[in-house]
């Protein structure tokens, strides 16, 4: 009996047993939590300790013009990476890398001794540079692939395209569509020890990046080239501060070309002042001046505020609230009808017309035409413009607004409203990207023309087209006439707040009976004896529009001037012998220019069926026809050429180009003089000087 446990002992045993069970349950619960609930998180933390990854940049999508011509492309380049834990002699490594990477030893040493698993030594180096480093077989120095953005046409459409910096898009289409163009990065994964050194038998795993989508613009690169050449000439001729132009399809809202000068080269954006990065046609505002009278006149016609026979008398001025508002013509225009005040761009006439419409009604139409609000174009940094508030719009302010002063808008707002005047009355939403496509050509997203609202009737629009034609045919826009075509338009001159500084503009369209192109040209502060839109901007419009119509193969308008050279289709002479091709072209009245070697035509410019005036030049690119009927060409020497120059030269003779690096061409494969089949890709390496 003496060995039996006492009651107190039994209680202690039960307590200990209960405590043990609780501990066991706690351990089981904790184990379950770690194995089930927290497993994913713990696994990620563990992998972070023994797995290292190097990001692999995705290839950015290409930006094409509407005819699939490349405007922005990406090429693969290499980036030098260091793993500091693997470098045993950092001073020696820095000494060897410095001259190759064009960096100081101190900078490299500071980088490769950081307490990190991986560090960038230098990003986006040329292949030749990377190969030089590989030959050194430096322990701890590795490479990853990145992409570098190239703009093969340099300054062409630069303010529209924008650019991509080291790690992000900064402006333009590149920024607006960045999330679509970028794609998704891949990575290189490897196993390491606790100090970050690679395990002896571990293998690297490569996760392929997903390439970005490609953007197809509404812009036509040839029309863009025509527009930019035109405003460049205008800037030089009139010594302007800047020159801006924008061309649209008035029926769809597609922007066909847009730009301003001065501009910049996105391949070397850092060398330019940031003010040149802006697309002034979308981001800057100006006073439209008399081009705005087309909006006031359309409102008057739609509201039947005046008839064609309504009489307006202009003594050279009008008085509003005791303030004298002068006409541009000394002595005035005398008695005029409705059409004539538009043809003569008569300020007093439009003040009277505005009063006939009424302040409230006119302001409703101004807003309906899209002024004072963003158009919604797919481009960053669009400005809204400025309108008077109802409380600010006194009698004088309303009077000056009737002829386009005191109101501010973007060039895009002005041309978009003008398109509504001439296209049947529909205000369209302008746009710049037609489609987003993948590399297989599948359309992922497309943009269709969108009518924002109908502002005026088709009947009013037809009346306005006829009235605007008479402005060019008989009125202040006569310098915008184009032989063989019916052109409509309106001049514009506005005075800036600085004395003696003006903005000259011209807005117009062609052909009158079936508008295909609307074009606005703005010259800021022309420093000539004349600064009016008709004298200064009209001829710039005429030069640009005539080239665009010719490029689009638009035939002469019925009722247009007949004094034009004969126009013919360019015949297709590809595949013929040089002698046959030259004979055919000369019989058609065309001149010929020969490029390349051989006696067989492999390409021609312009392409077949393009309409040209007789006497124009057709360039023939020559090659050699082999016994099996295949065409071969001699590879030209592109060394010393820029990416644009090399690409255009190779493309012209039927060869493709593979770009590596940037700057000027330093080597090529195949070498110059080699005979290759048409369609062969020439690998060209570019390097900075």
Query: Any idea of the CA torsion for 270, 274, 280, 285, to the nearest 10 degrees?
Result: 170
Q: What is the mean pLDDT of residues 262-287?
A: 92
- The residue from 479, 509, 542 where one domain ends is 542
Count the domains in the chain. Answer: 3
Output the CA angle 431-465-230, nearest 5 degrees.
55
Is the pLDDT assigned to residue 193 strictly greater than 70? no
In-domain check, residue 222:
no
Cα 66 from chain centre: 12
**Strand ranges inside 101-191, DSSP E:** 119-125, 141-150, 186-191
Inter-axis angle of helices 105-112 and 90-101, nearest 10: 130
**Same domain as 522, residue 472:** yes
**Same domain as 301, residue 208:** no
**Same domain as 520, residue 414:** yes
User: Residue 551: is it exposed, middle or buried by C-beta count within 10 angstroms (0-12/13-18/19+)?
Assistant: middle
Q: What is the pLDDT of residue 399?
A: 92
Domain with residue 186: its CATH number is 3.90.1310.10
**Strand ranges inside 496-613, DSSP E:** 502-510, 517-524, 567-569, 591-596, 600-605, 611-613
Inter-axis angle of helices 127-136 and 90-101, nearest 10: 150
Q: What is the mean pLDDT of residues 93-105?
A: 89
Q: What is the pLDDT of residue 651?
A: 77
pTM, whole model, 2 decimals? 0.70
Residue 120, beta-bridge partner list: 81
**Same domain as 468, residue 354:** yes
Q: What is the pLDDT of residue 200?
A: 59
What is the distance between the alpha carbons of residues 454 and 100, in angstroms, rounded to a whole number? 64
Q: What is the pLDDT of residue 565?
A: 43
In-domain check, residue 434:
yes
Q: Which residue has the tokens 């019925």?
A: 558
User: Residue 318: is it exposed, middle or buried by C-beta count within 10 angstroms (0-12/13-18/19+)?
Assistant: buried
The count of other CB atoms within 10 Å of the CB of residue 204 is 13
Before 262, cis peptide (omega within 30)?
yes
Domain with residue 248: its CATH number is 3.40.710.10
Output the CA angle 683-687-689, nearest 5 degrees.
150
Is the pLDDT assigned to residue 689 strictly greater than 70? no
In-domain check, residue 559:
no
**Same domain as 468, residue 581:** no
Residues 6+ apart with CB under 8 A from 425: 454, 455, 456, 457, 458, 460, 461
Pairing assessment for the beta strands 591-596 and 617-625 based on DSSP bridges: parallel
Is the pLDDT assigned to residue 566 strictly greater than 70? no
Which of the two residues, 220 and 112, has the higher pLDDT score? Answer: 220
CA distances from 482 to 516, 533, 566 (A): 15, 17, 15
CA distances from 157 to 15, 49, 243, 435, 592 (A): 85, 48, 14, 18, 30
Domain with residue 625: its CATH number is 3.30.10.20
**Same domain as 578, residue 508:** no
Q: Note whether 538 and 477 are within 8 A (CB).
A: yes
In-domain check, residue 517:
yes
In-domain check, residue 299:
yes
Is the pLDDT assigned to residue 610 strictly greater than 50? yes
Which of the two residues, 620 and 206, has the higher pLDDT score? Answer: 620
Which of the two residues, 603 and 457, has the higher pLDDT score? Answer: 457
What is the distance between the alpha carbons of residues 53 and 76, in angstroms, rounded to a whole number? 20
In-domain check, residue 4:
no
CA distance between the termini of the chain: 106
Range of the domain at 414: 234-265+277-542
Q: Is 290 a catalytic residue?
A: yes
Q: Note whether 155 and 115 are within 8 A (CB).
A: no
Ramachandran angles phi, psi of 625, nearest 5°: -95, 125
The count of other CB atoms within 10 Å of the CB of residue 222 is 16
**Same domain as 292, residue 209:** no
Q: Give per-residue pLDDT as tens, 42-96.
A: 666 555 555 566 666 678 899 999 999 999 998 777 888 888 888 888 888 889 8
In-domain check, residue 332:
yes
Residues 6+ apart with CB under 8 A from 346: 312, 314, 327, 329, 332, 333, 336, 340
Q: Which residue has the tokens 């030049």?
A: 617
Q: Note whether 289 and 400 are within 8 A (CB).
A: no
**Same domain as 411, residue 503:** yes
In-domain check, residue 48:
no
Q: What is the mean pLDDT of residues 434-463?
A: 94
Q: What is the mean pLDDT of residues 413-430?
A: 97
State the pLDDT confidence band at 363, using cuts at 50, 70 and 90: very high
The kind and range of the H/E element at 493 are strand 488-495
- Active-site pick, 58, 290, 505, 546: 290
**Same domain as 413, residue 385:** yes
Most confident of 27-36, 74-83, 413-422, 677-686: 413-422
User: Residue 554: is it exposed, middle or buried by C-beta count within 10 angstroms (0-12/13-18/19+)?
Assistant: middle
**Same domain as 508, residue 626:** no
Q: Note whether 78 and 147 are within 8 A (CB).
A: no
**Same domain as 678, residue 612:** yes
Q: What is the DSSP string of 38-106?
A: SHHHHHHHHHHHHEEEEEEPPPPPPEE-TT--EEEEEEEEEEEEE-GGG-S-HHHHHHHHHHHHT--HH
Maximum distance among all Cα pairs of the chain, rounded to whole angstroms: 141
**Same domain as 172, residue 241:** no
């Amino acid at each position: 009996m003496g060995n039996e446990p006492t009651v107190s002992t039994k209680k202690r045993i039960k307590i200990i047993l209960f405590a043990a069970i609780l501990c066991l349950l706690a351990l089981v619960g904790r184990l379950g939590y770690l194995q089930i609930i927290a497993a994913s998180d713990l696994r990620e933390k563990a992998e972070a300790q023994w797995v290292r990854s190097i990001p692999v940049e995705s290839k950015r999508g290409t930006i094409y013009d509407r005819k699939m011509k490349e405007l922005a492309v990406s090429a693969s380049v290499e980036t030098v990476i260091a793993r500091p834990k693997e470098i045993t002699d950092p001073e020696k490594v820095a000494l060897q890398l410095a001259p190759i990477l064009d960096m100081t030893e101190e900078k490299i040493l500071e980088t490769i001794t950081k307490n990190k698993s991986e560090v960038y030594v230098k990003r986006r180096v040329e292949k030749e540079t990377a190969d030089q480093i590989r030959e050194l077989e430096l322990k701890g120095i590795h490479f990853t692939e990145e992409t570098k953005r190239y703009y093969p046409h340099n300054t062409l459409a630069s303010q529209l395209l924008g650019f991509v910096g080291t790690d992000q898009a900064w402006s333009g289409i590149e920024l607006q569509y960045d999330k679509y163009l970028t794609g998704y990065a891949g990575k290189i994964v490897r196993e390491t020890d606790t100090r970050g050194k690679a395990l002896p038998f571990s293998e690297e795993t490569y996760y392929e990046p997903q390439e970005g989508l490609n953007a197809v613009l509404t812009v036509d690169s040839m029309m863009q080239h025509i527009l930019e050449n035109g405003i460049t000439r205008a800037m030089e001729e009139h010594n302007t501060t800047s020159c801006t132009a924008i061309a649209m399809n008035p029926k769809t809202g597609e922007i066909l070309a847009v730009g301003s000068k001065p501009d910049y080269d996105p391949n070397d954006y850092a060398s330019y002042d940031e003010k040149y990065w802006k697309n002034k046609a979308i981001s800057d505002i100006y006073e439209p001046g008399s081009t705005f009278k087309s909006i006031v006149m359309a409102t008057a016609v739609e509201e039947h505020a005046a008839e064609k026979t309504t009489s307006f008398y202009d003594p050279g001025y009008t008085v509003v609230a005791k303030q004298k508002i002068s006409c541009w013509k000394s002595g005035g225009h005398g008695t005029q009808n409705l059409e004539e005040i538009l043809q003569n761009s008569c300020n007093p006439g439009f003040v009277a017309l505005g009063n006939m419409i009424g302040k409230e009604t006119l302001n409703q139409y101004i807003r309906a035409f899209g002024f004072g609000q963003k158009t919604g174009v797919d481009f960053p940094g669009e400005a809204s413009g400025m309108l008077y508030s109802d409380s600010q719009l006194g009698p004088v302010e309303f009077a000056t607004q009737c002829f386009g002063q005191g109101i501010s808008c973007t060039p895009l707002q002005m041309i978009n409203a003008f398109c509504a005047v001439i296209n049947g009355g529909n205000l369209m939403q302008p746009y710049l990207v037609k489609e987003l496509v993948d590399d297989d050509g599948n359309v992922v997203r497309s943009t269709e023309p969108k009518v924002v609202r109908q502002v005026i009737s088709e009947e009013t629009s037809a009346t306005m087209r006829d009235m605007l034609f008479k402005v060019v045919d008989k009125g202040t826009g006569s310098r915008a006439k184009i032989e063989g075509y019916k052109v409509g338009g309106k001049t514009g001159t506005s005075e800036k707040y600085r004395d003696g500084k003006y903005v000259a503009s011209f807005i117009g369209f062609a052909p009158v009976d079936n508008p295909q192109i609307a074009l606005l040209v703005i010259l800021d502060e022309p420093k000539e004896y004349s600064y009016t839109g008709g004298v200064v901007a009209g001829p710039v419009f005429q030069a640009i529009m005539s080239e665009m119509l010719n490029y689009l193969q638009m035939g002469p308008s019925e009722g247009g001037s007949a004094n034009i050279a004969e126009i013919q289709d360019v015949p297709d002479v590809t595949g013929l012998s040089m002698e046959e091709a030259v004979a055919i072209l000369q019989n058609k009245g065309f001149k010929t220019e020969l490029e390349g070697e051989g006696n067989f035509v492999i390409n021609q410019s312009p392409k077949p069926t393009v309409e040209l005036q007789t006497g124009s030049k057709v360039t023939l690119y020559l090659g050699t026809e082999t016994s099996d009927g295949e065409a071969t060409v001699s590879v030209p020497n592109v060394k010393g050429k820029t990416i644009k120059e090399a690409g255009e030269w190779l493309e012209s003779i039927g060869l493709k180009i593979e770009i590596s690096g940037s700057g000027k061409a330093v080597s090529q494969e195949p070498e110059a003089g080699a005979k290759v089949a048409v369609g062969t890709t020439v690998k060209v390496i570019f390097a900075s000087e």
